[in-house]
Structure 1
Amino acid sequence: MRLSLIVAVDENSGIGIDGNQPAFISEDLKRFKKLTTGNAIVMGRKTFEALPKGALPNRRNIVITRQKDFSPPGCEVIHSGDELHEVCSPEESVFVIGGGEVYKLFFSDAIRIYLTLIHYKFPRIDTWFPPIKEDEWVVERSEGPYNDEKSGFSYSYINYVRR
């Protein structure tokens, strides 16, 4: 499978506060939908439970959890990283969408990172994205900065590929 990570981070690589994203940027959500539609997405149970309407439409939703009896509608459930390799075909595009522990679990398997950098340092961050090391990753494309009128945040898109 072709495994990618897709994430929005602040300037300290923060991705979460109390189980939620620190910010929602409309254009970033549209980009997320465009990139992931028609592909598989992998998320942890807590990330799934944070989705306002459950399974995301037009995507293969895969939830990884330690809970053996977890069975959300519209989702496949796996219980280990190895299981993901068993249920996905080699040619399938798979996007890891969070949360923190799931990013860490699949970080070394990823070939791409689609990162949205929010140019702000959020207070109270309690979940972080793993460090992106220059000797392992190269910037393939960078766009922005852009400004989100609704939230007031400035942000950029940075796509990385593994060296």
Structure 2
Amino acid sequence: MHCHKRCFLFGGSMKKRKKEKKFSVGLLFPYLVFAVLLIVIDQMTKYWAQMKLQPIGCIDVIDGVFSFTYVRNTGAAFGILQGQKWLFLILTVLVLAAALWYLIRNKITNPVLLISGSAVWAGAVGNLIDRIRLSYVIDFLEVRFISFPVFNVADCCVVVGMIVLGFYILRGKSK
């Protein structure tokens, strides 16, 4: 079979590989590096938005389609639960801890689950940093041709990670 690496990554038979990976905390290191990289990108882009966009408010990138628009979000997606900082802090920490516990307890070694989980985890941590540091989340990516809330890189990480995870689950794969 000419596609055995691709098949393994997207749910192909484990028998095609010489040896199944055994779980160890060290196995998580590359995924931790990936998550940290995403967090750094998120925080750097938010810093840019705070320094450059906050004074002017908005930069049209493609007129009527996409802009960088500075927004202080004290709520969740779509502006719900505004001003509930402590609720978000507590829930985020609990969900992050539960996800890490699940990963280690169930000895997850599947790269698709680890990559998607790393992205979701990074997005949650990126927004958590904002909530702790600023009491709000900096959003700055605005799609203008549809009615959609302004968002950030951390939000993109969560959404993309959940989409990948959802497709994987729908395909009926396990660890």
Q: TM-score, structure 2 length as denominator?
A: 0.22
Structure with the greater relative contact order (CA < 8 A, sep ≥ 6): 1 or 2? Answer: 1
Higher percent of residues as strand:
1
Higher helix share: 2
Rg larger in structure: 2
What is the TM-score when the length of structure 1 is the normalising length? 0.23
